Homo-oligomer: A and B are copies of this chain.
């Protein structure tokens, strides 16, 4: 069977009125411009024919598609999944559709994803950049396409952003370790030039150390990536470099878990031998054998905020930047007064 949609004119014909009248009934923008009798007749016909307005056709006329595009690295990822969920919920609330424009983690693949979204006529784009120099995004902004940056901030991109204060989050994590008495604190992080947020977290780590009068030891800073494996390898590298480390701030929970495993294998006990703090508060972090102390980002809230900003940009032409406060979630991986998973679960179950 061929799929033929019911259109306005079908309804009009069936109801014995003109197309415009039906349109008026549908669009409440005409409160009392249709007689009650006609309105009822039309509504009945719509119901009977199972009519659904064609959003695309409406969009063509209005110059809007009521679609927003999301340009993120990939969706199969705990972190982006939460962000995307927030975006979706926010969009649903604003009657906007969400169009995926993912590209694989390859740096520089922004181009095609963004152009693709533009070509589909999205009203605006939520952009998670992975390039230090986001050329295509800048071009689109220059062309006037509403775009908001999420999580990552690009200096040269003239678009509002929604993100968490990475510097402050890293500072908080490091300071927490310092206050616990640690002095040899290592950092496993992402420092590729392409990742603004990784650099900000590094800077926060360094600033905290300096604030406590501790000299920065480059040997304690190990590069990793946003995944488990790299955290594992980074931990091995770190241990190769120096054995006197008592604490680690990892700039993502992925890396932290990888490091945890490397410790386990090497017979290093967490938190007894080494204290560990992560970043992001990913869903599994609370369910590890040693629940992870970490810096949480309000991921879903950020997704929703990004939609609100984008709507502002589309409709008012401007939107403020939104900076969320990170929050230190203290669990067991630094020992001390941290809550254990067990007590947390009791809270959860009883609460």
Complex Cα distance A349/B258, Å?
13
Chain B residue nearest to A103 (CB atoms) is B92
- Contact between A287 and B52, CB atoms less than 8 A apart: no
What residues on B are CB-neighbors of A85 within 8 Å? 74-76, 102
> Is residue A57 within 8 Å, beta carbon to beta carbon, of the partner chain?
yes
Interfacial chain B residues near A118, Cβ < 8 Å: 52
A100's partner among B59, B100, B143 (CB-CB below 8 A) is B100
Known: A53-B119, A145-B3, A289-B289. A261 touches B341 (CB 8 A): yes
A102 to chain B, nearest CB (A): 5
Q: From A159-167, A225-233, A240-248, give the one contacting chain B.
A: A225-233
Residues of chain B within 8 A of A54, CB atoms compared: 60, 119, 121
> Contact: B120 with A56, CB < 8 Å?
yes
In the assembled complex, the Cα of A85 lies from the Cα of B72 at a distance in Å of 12
Residue of B nearest to A70 (CB): B100
| A107 to B: closest C-beta gap in Å | 18
A211 in the interface, Cβ–Cβ < 8 Å? no
Contact between A99 and B98, CB atoms less than 8 A apart: yes
CB-CB nearest in chain B for A4: B144
> Which residues in window 1-49 of A have CB below 8 A to B?
1-5
With beta carbons under 8 angstroms apart, the residue of B1, B84, B100 that contacts A76 is B84
Interface residues on A, range: 35 or more
Assess the A88–B75 pair: CB atoms within 8 A. Answer: yes
With A4-B144, A75-B75 in contact, is A52–B84 under 8 Å at CB?
no
Residues from chain B with Cβ under 8 Å of A115 in the complex: 52
A159 vs chain B, min Cβ distance (A) = 13
Are B3 and A144 touching (Cβ within 8 A)?
yes
- The B-contacting residues of A in range 77-100, CB under 8 angstroms, are 77-78, 80-82, 84-85, 88, 97-100
Q: Please judge, given known A-B contacts A97-B120, A120-B97, whether A77 and B88 are in contact too, CB under 8 Å.
A: no
Asked if A287 contacts B257 (CB within 8 A), the reply is yes
In the complex, chain B residues whose CB is within 8 Å of the CB of A57? 60
Residue of B nearest to A50 (CB): B143
A-B contact pairs, 5 of them (CB 8 A): A54-B121, A56-B120, A77-B81, A99-B99, A261-B345
A76-B78, A77-B81, A265-B342 known, 13 other contacts, Cβ within 8 Å:
A52-B118, A53-B119, A54-B60, A60-B60, A75-B88, A76-B84, A97-B99, A97-B116, A99-B99, A229-B348, A261-B341, A288-B289, A289-B289
